[in-house]
Amino acid sequence: MEEFKYLIPEESGDAISLDARKLRLIEGSLRKIFDAHNYEELMLPTFEYVDFYASIRDQAEDSMFQFVNSDGKRIALRTDFTLPIARIYNNERTNEVKRYSYFGKVYRLAKRHKGRSSELYQIGTELIGLGGKAGDQECLSLIEETMASLDLKDLKIELGSAKFYLRLMELVKDDRLSGILEKKQLSEMKRFIKEKGITGSLGRLLENLPTAFGSYEELMAFKDYVKDFELLDAIDRMAALYEGSKHKEDIIFDLCMVPSQPYYTGVMIKGYSYYSAYPILSGGRYDKLLSYFDNEVPAIGFSYHINTLLNAYVKEGEADD
């Protein structure tokens, strides 16, 4: 037992290596921007009922840190902020537009030996009640403004579409496509198309999809392969978002983007630093999530992954030395 006086659980290994001073500077900068745009900061419970997450999100229970409380009920450490905030909005019994922000940790069981921490610091916002282009544009503009405040070089914003992805899965009717899209491997896609006997316009679309990544011009060129109305509409929504951006030079598109959350329904957004293989930011539109609370309200949000962001600062500093 003596040895444990000097050890930290591997699940929290990242947590103590974070630069506290830099973290507070980032918090202050983002909080100032959120306040200027009338985003109300929320304090949320650290514990939630396991069934709350499992029933709404269909989240695997083996990704939660679980406990049994004094009443014999299963509770878990908070795994995300979006669901508790959706509950707060629902409890206010309103359909008005609400803007929320949050600062805090989430806890998710990570696979061992993957170099991933289970204790993750996040900063983000949720915009509830504002649908369509107006909501998407406000979210993107806020992301652009906050990213500009970070003082990091070579930042990029990647746009994808859950609507495009979900329609594609509906047309193909084979869950294996999701893994192929994530890998963007052309040879696997060709093998899949041949095995499924997919021909015609859908076959041509799928064959060219692994390379549907890049600039606005490349996105527009890819439209030539798209004949399905819903897929075209998803691309047009992404294009409209780009056209309203003040930082077009920082935006790239990825039609192979697979939703990182099961509740995404529309635009998906990721932020990248040249110095990180993982996104420093992610978010998206989730217009159906509030329906779990019997409240049909559109919503969109994003969060900064602060562990990843701080590591990007370190690597950029090393590169500049």
Residue 78 in marked binding region: no
Mean pLDDT, range 178-197, rounded to an integer = 95
Is 185 known as a binding-site position? no
pLDDT on residue 20: 87
| Mean pLDDT (whole number) for 88-97 | 92
Q: What is the mean pLDDT of residues 193-201?
A: 96
Reported as a pLDDT band with limits 50, 70 and 90, residue 34 is very high
What number is the average pLDDT over the span 195-216? Answer: 96
53 is in an annotated binding site: no
pLDDT of 319 over the 90 cut:
no
SS (H, E, C) the chain: CHHHHCCCCHHHCCHHHCCHHHHHHHHHHHHHHHHHCCCEECCCCCEEEHHHHHHHHCCCHHHCCEEECCCCCEEEECCCCHHHHHHHHHHCCCCCCEEEEEEEEEECCCCCCCCCCCEEEEEEEEEECCCHHHHHHHHHHHHHHHHHCCCCCCEEEEEEEHHHHHHHHHHHCCCHHHHHHHHCCHHHHHHHHHHHCCCHHHHHHHHHHHHCEECHHHHHHHHHHCCCHHHHHHHHHHHHHHHCCCCHHHEEEECCCCCCCCCCCCEEEEEEECCCCCCCEEEEECCCHHHHHCCCCCEEEEEEEHHHHHHHHHHHHHHHC
pLDDT of residue 186: 94
Q: Domains (ranges, CATH) in the chain? A: 2-44+81-320 (3.30.930.10)
Residue 80 annotated in ligand binding: yes
Mean pLDDT of 17-22: 79
pLDDT digits (tens, 9 = 90+) for 42-51: 999 999 999 8
pTM: 0.92
- Residue 108 assigned to a binding site: yes
Q: What is the pLDDT of residue 321?
A: 65
Region 191-216: what's the mean pLDDT? 96
304 annotated as ligand-binding: no
